[in-house]
Amino acid sequence: MVKPDRPPRIILLFRNGFMKKLSPSDFAALREKTRLVLAGRDPADSYGFVNPPIVRGSTVVYPTMEDFLQRKARYSYGTKGNPTIDALEAALNTIEGGAGTVVCPSGLMGCTLPLLATLSAGDHLLMTDSVYRPTRMFCDSMLKRLGIETTYYDPSLGAEIAALFRPNTKAVWTEAPGSQTFEMQDIPAIVAAAHAHGALVMMDNTWATPLYFDSHKFGVDISVQAGTKYYAGHSDVLIGTVSARTPELYRTIRDAWEALGVIIAPEDAFLTLRGIRTMRLRLQEQMPAGIAMAQWLAARPEVARVMHPALPEDPGHALWKRDFTGASSLFGIELKPVAMKAVGAMLDGLSLFGMGASWGGYESLILPFDCRPYRTATTPDFKGPTIRLHIGLEDLDDLKADLEAGFERLRAAA
């Protein structure tokens, strides 16, 4: 259990050493860029080295029986946190701007943990139909077995979502833009409807990251990240993060985190911390590359439509422009009707795009998808095959040449 007198986690990292020059309120007044460089580290705690060390450990030993009985130590046991994980959580707090953050071993667990922590048998959950598919599978299997009912809703609902609330609706899950199909959601309208009903709003904010959508500022109560994507940024770590808007909710999430024993390896905390230091720079490069590639694809004769909310013709563009401050480099396209065999000829011959799940790394990826078989509240009207692209840090002209040759193979095989 979290001790009631436990100070906010961010303060724990300002004890001695060179950070002593900055009080927590001085730190809070700094701009985000600066906070991202400083957060979660104090060289006085790491023998003067710049970065916090990887601390491995299960057991914490105490000098006296009295200390042990009172658990009088900064750390009590390996499953309840350690300095490397604290450093990461402190850094995450600086960008999420919530009351506290916990980290877990995958983005998927980042989605499932807050649902497990806040919902009880008899409760009702509203879930966007555009949600990341494994989150849907969790609702349809484990939540269902635990007696929690899920209703999927059309992601285009704003204030009209109020009609779907029942007396037992405890939470609304959002994801904007949605997985695979990139529908935007009117988060402020959903927050207003949910809060009027006393329900929580949770958001999978992996696409925009807190740098490009400040979800807590918009009233989102629980902000989830698959840190596997842009946080870690190098396709070599699985990690999830859960940030709570209020201290009470943070306590609830943290208690569930401790009760379940959801601990991550300190190496993964270290690598994610390293990723976060440069995330802003990577996104600054990847956002315009993604938009430029989406525009280039929109002009191709083989492409029926592009799903990218930063493009003015996208149905979600007005919401994106109103609420978001940037875009990541993941988007979808619908091809004009063509045989899957031809799509295979295009994708199989690509040399720069890897074909695989996940995204947010430094490298470009491509995959075919079909969301129609499992959507239940909406029926996307795709007439041709659908493809998802992630644009990495390669030269854009090289990537276009790779795709151009792919389109030639597609036409030849059609």
Ligand X SMILES: *Cc1c(COP(=O)(O)O)cnc(C)c1O
Please give the residue ranges that form the binding site for ligand X (CB under 6 A): 106-108, 111, 132, 175, 179, 204, 206, 226, 228, 238, 240, 358
Q: How far, in Å, are 81, 119, 231 from residue 144 at the CA level?
A: 31, 11, 31
Closest separation in Å from C-beta 170 to ligand X: 21
Of 94 and 206, nearer to ligand X (C-beta) is 206
Closest separation in Å from C-beta 358 to ligand X: 6
Distance CA 102, CA 260 (A): 13
Tokens of 129: 């139909």
Pairing of strands 386-390, 222-226: unpaired
Of 179 and 286, nearer to ligand X (C-beta) is 179
Single-letter code of the amino acid located at 156: S
Distance CA 254, CA 101 (A): 8
Closest separation in Å from C-beta 132 to ligand X: 4
Concatenate the DSSP letters of all residues of 115-129 into one string: HHHH--TT-EEEEET
Closest separation in Å from C-beta 161 to ligand X: 20
Q: How far, in Å, are 66, 107, 326, 363, 389 from residue 351 at the CA level?
A: 64, 28, 29, 12, 14
Of 98 and 240, nearer to ligand X (C-beta) is 240
Closest separation in Å from C-beta 87 to ligand X: 20
Place of tokens 């002593």: 20
Distance CA 255, CA 30 (A): 31
Of 27 and 320, nearer to ligand X (C-beta) is 320
Of 353 and 359, nearer to ligand X (C-beta) is 359
Closest separation in Å from C-beta 274 to ligand X: 17
Helices (H), 299-395: 317-323, 340-348
Closest separation in Å from C-beta 130 to ligand X: 10
Of 153 and 173, nearer to ligand X (C-beta) is 173
Give the nearest residue (CB) to ligand X.
107
Mutual orientation of helices 107-118 and 247-260 as an angle, nearest 10°?
Answer: 110
Closest separation in Å from C-beta 204 to ligand X: 5
Helices (H), 6-124: 24-29, 32-38, 65-69, 83-96, 107-118
Of 132 and 270, nearer to ligand X (C-beta) is 132
Closest separation in Å from C-beta 365 to ligand X: 12
Closest separation in Å from C-beta 411 to ligand X: 31
Distance CA 344, CA 328 (A): 26
Computed from CA positions of residues 363, 293, 390, 300, in that sequence, does the dihedral angle turn out positive or negative? negative
Q: How far, in Å, are 105, 131, 379 from residue 108 at the CA level?
A: 8, 12, 25
The β-bridge partners of 242 are 102, 224
Q: What is the DSSP letter of 52?
A: P
Of 89 and 204, nearer to ligand X (C-beta) is 204
Mutual orientation of helices 266-298 and 396-413 as an angle, nearest 10°?
Answer: 60
